[in-house]
Amino acid sequence: MSLDILVSAERLSRDLRASAKTLTDTQARFMVDAYYSMQDQRIRTEGQVRALAASEEPHKLILWLAQQSRMLEDQVKGALEKYTDAHPVGAWMKGVKGIGPVLSAGMLAHIDITRAPTVGHIWSFAGLNPNAVWKKGEKRPWNAALKRACWLCSESFVKTSGGDEPSYYGTVYKQRKEQEIAKNERGEFADQAKAMLEKKNFRADTQAKKFYQEGKLPPAHIHARATRYAVKRFLSDLHTVWYWLHYKKLPPMPYVITHGGHAHYEISELFDNVPGLREALEKRSPVTVRPAYTPKPTAPTKEPSAKAAASAPKKNGGVPQKSSIAAPIPPSKSFTINMKKK
């Protein structure tokens, strides 16, 4: 039985790889949903395997099911890799640290650039418009699947905000969170805190209520504000890239520049991977380019003194060894988008 299933799964994988480049948006949406369903099932199955192993009641059939679930999940992910490779915008998104083929496929399948003359249209469609309210009896004013994809993107940015090479959008999140914390400490969110107390009924013992009563937002609220800002910045850059590749011209100027008093347009060096885009932006307004990765400075290693070197234990037959200097962090991988239609 297991042999038959293994063979059929392998055939499915070959068929998917062959046809993935021609998936329609509807088909891609189905594959993305299927991937997350398989992932949820695989996580539950692996949890069952661990529980059985802990109780010393392992069952080979459940272990086999977990292995098959992971294999099929990987195959669908591989198919979505091919699907995104066939789209220049998909290739650009996968160059962003924290964004893989599944999230890229979800964005490609749910966003129609011909219906989004500004990034504000995408923000609203993704449920990132704070003024949008889903009233009872009315149609949901945003796309639930796209909203979930944006949330997953924001969590990826949080995960890539630390380490030796924080990602661009991870750094955006981290800096924004620091700003939000500072504003919160100064009491600049007192009106919002008051509105939350009037809007919702909190239990008396909740930490959130204590923060709101003090005229401040709780940590979870600050985190949500920072992640929302980071993903909106990502969608803004995505819209610029997509609009440029589709229409061969720049989208309208951002609202923060035309009405918000901002003079500079900040972009990631990933824009350099899109032919002509950075040059066009620089002609229109001042541009500040930030690195796609932000390597942390490495403290220089001091050379040992002559006295310390002489007293150090010798290796390799008594030949003194050179001090080890930290190697520089290698540059991030880059790519160039092919403007030709595939």
The domain spans of the chain are: 1-86, 94-296
What's the mean pLDDT in 201-228? 92
Closest CA to 172 of 218, 234, 126, 82: 234
pLDDT per residue over 99-117, tens digit each?
A: 999 999 999 999 999 999 9
pLDDT of residue 94: 95
Higher pLDDT, 339 or 15: 15
- What is d(CA 309, CA 19) in angstroms, rounded to the nearest whole number? 64
pLDDT-above-70 percentage for the chain? 77
pLDDT of residue 322: 37
Residues contacting residue 282 through CB under 8 Å, at least 6 positions apart: none
- What is d(CA 91, CA 118) in angstroms, rounded to the nearest whole number? 21
C-alpha dist (Å) from residue 332 to 9, 167, 270: 35, 10, 10
The model's confidence at residue 16, banded by pLDDT at 50, 70 and 90, is: low
pLDDT per residue over 37-79, tens digit each?
A: 999 989 998 888 888 888 877 678 888 888 888 888 888 999 9
Contact 313, 304 (CB under 8 A): no
What's the mean pLDDT in 116-125? 94
pLDDT for 314 beyond 50: no
Residues contacting residue 9 through CB under 8 Å, at least 6 positions apart: 68, 71, 72, 75
- What is d(CA 131, CA 198) in angstroms, rounded to the nearest whole number? 17
Tokens 């046809």 found at: 19
CA atoms within 13 A on the CB side of 184: 20
- What is d(CA 171, CA 97) in angstroms, rounded to the nearest whole number? 11
Q: Give the tokens for residue 257.
A: 């520049």
Residue 299, amino acid: A
Residue 59 DSSP one-character state: -
Burial of 73 (0-12, 13-18, 19+ CB in 10 A): buried
The model's confidence at residue 268, banded by pLDDT at 50, 70 and 90, is: confident
pLDDT-above-90 percentage for the chain? 50
Chain centroid to Cα 297, Å, comes to 24
The model's confidence at residue 339, banded by pLDDT at 50, 70 and 90, is: very low
pLDDT of residue 107: 97
Least confident of 8-12, 160-164, 267-271: 8-12
What's the mean pLDDT in 108-130? 94
Three-state secondary-structure class, residue 318: coil
- What is d(CA 249, CA 104) in angstroms, rounded to the nearest whole number? 23
pLDDT of residue 64: 85
* pTM of the shown model: 0.79
Contact 78, 18 (CB under 8 A): no
Least confident of 89-98, 187-196, 294-303: 294-303
What's the mean pLDDT in 310-315? 49
Least confident of 32-46, 212-226, 311-325: 311-325
CA-based diameter of the chain, in Å? Answer: 84
β-bridge partners, 287: 265
pLDDT for 219 beyond 80: yes
Burial of 244 (0-12, 13-18, 19+ CB in 10 A): buried
Give the chain's mean pLDDT: 82
The model's confidence at residue 7, banded by pLDDT at 50, 70 and 90, is: very low
SS3 content of the chain, % helix, strand, coil (to 5): 60, 5, 35
- What is d(CA 98, CA 335) in angstroms, rounded to the nearest whole number? 16
- What is d(CA 116, CA 138) in angstroms, rounded to the nearest whole number? 23
What's the mean pLDDT in 184-189? 96
pLDDT of residue 331: 38
Long-range contacts of 280-287 (CB under 8 A, 24+ apart): 280/244, 280/249, 280/250, 281/240, 281/250, 284/250, 284/253, 285/253, 285/257
Higher pLDDT, 12 or 278: 278
